[in-house]
Amino acid sequence: MASSPGLNFLIAKYLRGLPNSNLANEFVQSLEQNNLLPSTRNWNGVERQISFSELEQQYAHVPDNHLFHLLENVMSYVEQGIGKRFGSLSTFLLQMDPTCFLENKQKKSSTRKYNMFTTAYHPCKYLSNPTNRNMQIILREREYFGRTLSVKQLPASDLYQRMNMRLKVIAHKASIYCIAFDRTGTYALSGADDFLLKMWHVHTGRLLATFRGHSKEICDIDVNFENTLVASASLDKKVRVWNLKTTKMECVLHGHQSGINATKFSPFCKTDDRWLASVGHDGSICFWKYPIGTTDFEPRPIKFVEKSRAGAQMLCLSFSPGGYFVAAGSSDSVIRVYSFHTYSPLKICELDRHTSVVETLCYSHLTNSFISGSKDGTARIWRYEQQTWRAIVLNYNDDSDK
């Protein structure tokens, strides 16, 4: 007979609330001996069973009579569906036909599951989704929520094989190394080695604006979360901030002594101030603060010089979803993590597990973890657990994993 670890825990909680505590203790002991409680994995990926005391601490908000109230709600639901009253919970459990509401369950659309899932993560109630949903929207929602949706909602595996090029535009006179969408997905921005930043309409391919001002190659582009500003970083040592609506250049930020590799707007929004960060060839990371709704950037950034040796460069950075953390990778194989818990950037640690250049970083959309990629042939998933950063190694050079 199949057993549910979650149900076993609720039964044990219910028995704990009864006068005879010995029965509950014997049941809990039996669950732990037979591995019938939920399991988890440690940072090495080794599976272990969670003890009953750990579950009680993790679900301290669950009362002892939680299972009883759940069954009462199920009884009320069944009574409404079949038009029959059972009178008491005992009568319901003994006389209920397990298939009495199976038909109603089969009629529910798979989009109902998605509706309930999004409601659990957001305070508002989402409207039910149509059956012929746009695949682009589905994939975008999967990326934002960070979890895999129902297989029925995902596009067919042969969808990508049937895709064709919609539009080809000769956009620049030199190589293009950075592109970005605005927050609505209506406009695309491209930065190139011809020193120009251009904005395009996604659906028509029409050139809407050309941003001129950089004197060297453009290395990175980012749009702020209010969808009003776009920042461009260049090898001319400057970050230029443009108004996305008027296409006017609002300000030029000076803080680096050499070319800039990457720039990112922070999603941090606990105060009325916003932040823009950049990393460069000079081995430094700069944080510029500005009030929301304005372009009054502070002329002098908060700067951390992380040049551990001659020639060391800061190459990439990524903010956590809430903006409380930012991780930056460098050519000296070290990842540096900064915190905004004091509403101002502060370096909290250095992670030196990689043995070569850290070229890319990306924070998870759902949890406080990020992944790093290095020239040493490994990727590492970092998580903050028990007051320390732990990493799971993804080694593509290890033949045993193939």
46-50, 89-93, 133-137, 291-295: lowest mean pLDDT where?
89-93
Contacts of 73 (CB under 8 A, 6+ apart): none
Contact 203, 215 (CB under 8 A): no
Model pLDDT, residue 118: 44
158 in Cβ contact with 141 (< 8 Å): no
Question: Taking the CA atoms of the chain, what radius of gyration do you get in angstroms?
Answer: 27
* 172 or 132, greater pLDDT: 172
What amino acid is encoded at 75 in this protein?
M
Q: Which two tokens stand for residue 389?
A: 């950063």
Domain assignments of the chain as residue spans, ordered by start = 5-95, 109-162, 176-401
User: For residue 40, what are the CA distances in angstroms to 43, 50, 54, 165?
Assistant: 10, 7, 11, 44
Strand order in the sheet with 218-223: 218-223, 229-234, 238-243, 249-254
Give the mean pLDDT of the chain. 82
Instruction: Give per-residue pLDDT as tens, 69-119.
Output: 777 777 676 666 655 565 565 555 555 555 555 444 444 444 444 444 444
Q: pLDDT tens digits for 177-227?
A: 999 999 988 999 999 999 999 999 998 889 999 999 999 999 999 999 999
Q: How far apart are CA 156 and CA 150, in angstroms?
A: 12
What percent of the chain lies above the pLDDT cut of 70? Answer: 76
190 with 197: CB under 8 angstroms? yes
pLDDT digits (tens, 9 = 90+) for 243-283: 999 999 999 999 999 999 999 999 998 889 999 999 999 99
Written as six digits, the tokens of 5 are 């670890």
Query: How many Å apart are CA 332 and CA 358, to the nearest integer?
Result: 8
159: pLDDT confidence band, cut at 50, 70 and 90? confident
What share of the chain has pLDDT > 90, as a percent? 46
For residues 8 and 31, the answer to whether their CB atoms sit within 8 Å is: yes
Homologous superfamily of domain range 176-401: YVTN repeat-like/Quinoprotein amine dehydrogenase (2.130.10.10)
Q: What is the mean pLDDT of residues 346-361?
A: 94
Q: Which two tokens stand for residue 136?
A: 């682009």
Degrees, nearest 5: CA angle 199-201-206: 90
What string of DSSP letters covers 203-226? TT--EEEEE---SS-EEEEEE-TT
Question: What does the alpha-carbon distance between residue 339 and residue 326 come to, in Å, rounded to a whole number?
Answer: 7
Q: How many residues does the chain have?
A: 402
Rounded-to-integer distance, Cα 266 and Cα 250, Å: 18
